[in-house]
Amino acid sequence: MLPPGLKIAFTFDRKSDWLALGLTEDECIEFQSDRTIDSIAASLRKCGAVEMVGSMKRMVARLAAGPADWDVVFNYAEGYGHVAREAQVPSLLDAWGMVLAFHGVPTAPFAVVSHLDAHAPDAAARAIARSPYAAQLQAYPLFAKPASVSDGIGISAANKITRPADLERVVGALRAAFPADDVLLERFLGGREFTVGVVGTGRAARAVGVRELVYLANSPLQPIDPRLAYADADAVDPVYRDIDIYSREQKGRQTRNPQAVDHDMNEPVPRAVAAVALKAWAALGLRDGGRLDIRYDSMGPDAVPHVIEINPIPGMTPGWSDYPSLAAHNGITYDDLIALIISSAMERKPVSTVSNEAAAFCVRKVSKSRMMILRGPLNIFDLAAGTTTDDAQLARRGCR
């Protein structure tokens, strides 16, 4: 149950705003449509009063203009720039892979080809040699991708490296396309692929849905959903028939390869996938909600699920994006999903059990000098906004 009178700040990057500033369509791929922003705002208004802040620069201007008494900030701002763009409003971990590796969560063996080695003809081979996973990366296929982009940008079937002779060529093409970015080289995981929606923080975190991406190459007999407009068997594009990678092009069009299959989370495989996702969620200290991509290392009974990506700002377009869709499959409406995220954040809001006078002071302290920041849409932490009241004063008043 959310408290009454909740004050919510909403940060976002509206695609139309950036286009108006002169950016191209390609530069705005990661920004959100008016429909998505307006849908989130409508659901937030059912939780409390919403201030539409907008982008990071508008957030800076808003804070500079005077005190903000928000209870929570719902951050859906992708940011503009390079590696740290998603951390411009919150503060996000950058080295996901190393953190996961030391918490016992399976991830694909990897090497990082630095953009500083752009002119080295053997940059990929040198990166593999430096990697702690060098031995595992000797076996092919491998997979290469830009290290710091999202939304499937830079991902295509051409990124799959099946032989050593193609290693430097594929990595070189990505370095040319993304000159300011590193290239991540991973062992290709050839098994089943899933995406898992999570809501909550710590022990209260739970999976709200498990969706499998079923590739025709792996499951040629997978029935085609008759409700889809492209269900005519003769309409299968041969170009896509053998693909086993979810590329940027596929994300932007309706294609039955892969086909999304929502699973009963009580079944053994979805239950195992959700367990790995929740273990990664806990290992990283993630909060409130998000989506994780899981892929098995092979087909068959001995396959092991690996975390391949964590989405702190998942798509939220109603009726289209995976996160709200897989939640809806399990009876969670769009409004309820937003409310669950906000509720998780509000559980960290300090509550005083001392005298009324001290409690009133604590409320003022919280509302005027601290705000809950949503990391992703979905991970919230406290942000000190400056105050003249120090911790000693709080302790004396019984508010610590």
How high is the mean pLDDT in each 10-residue block of the chain (400 residues)?
81 88 81 91 92 83 73 79 56 31 68 82 91 92 86 82 95 89 91 94 93 76 53 52 69 68 91 95 88 92 90 86 94 95 82 36 30 38 31 33
Task: Tell me what pLDDT residue 292 has.
Answer: 96
Rounded-to-integer distance, Cα 374 and Cα 364, Å = 21
Judge contact between 283 and 268, C-beta under 8 A. no
Task: Tell me what pLDDT residue 64 has.
Answer: 66
Say which DSSP state 245 is in. S
Calculate the alpha carbon distances from 91 to 133, 140, 205, 307, 383 in Å: 28, 36, 20, 21, 10
Task: Tell me what pLDDT residue 216 has.
Answer: 72
Task: Tell me what pLDDT residue 88 has.
Answer: 57
Q: Reading across the β-sheet that carries 160-161, which strands appear in turn? A: 110-113, 183-187, 142-146, 160-161
Strands of 239-339, DSSP E: 259-262, 289-296, 305-311
Torsion angle (degrees, nearest 10) of CA 365, 367, 370, 372: 150
- Sorted by where each starts, the structural domains of the chain and their CATH numbers stand as 7-91+347-396 (no CATH), 109-187 (3.30.1490.20), 191-311 (3.30.470.20)
The verdict on pTM exceeding 0.75 is: no
Rounded-to-integer distance, Cα 263 and Cα 330, Å = 9
Judging by DSSP bridges, how do beta strands 160-161 and 289-296 pair with one another? unpaired
Rounded-to-integer distance, Cα 383 and Cα 349, Å = 12
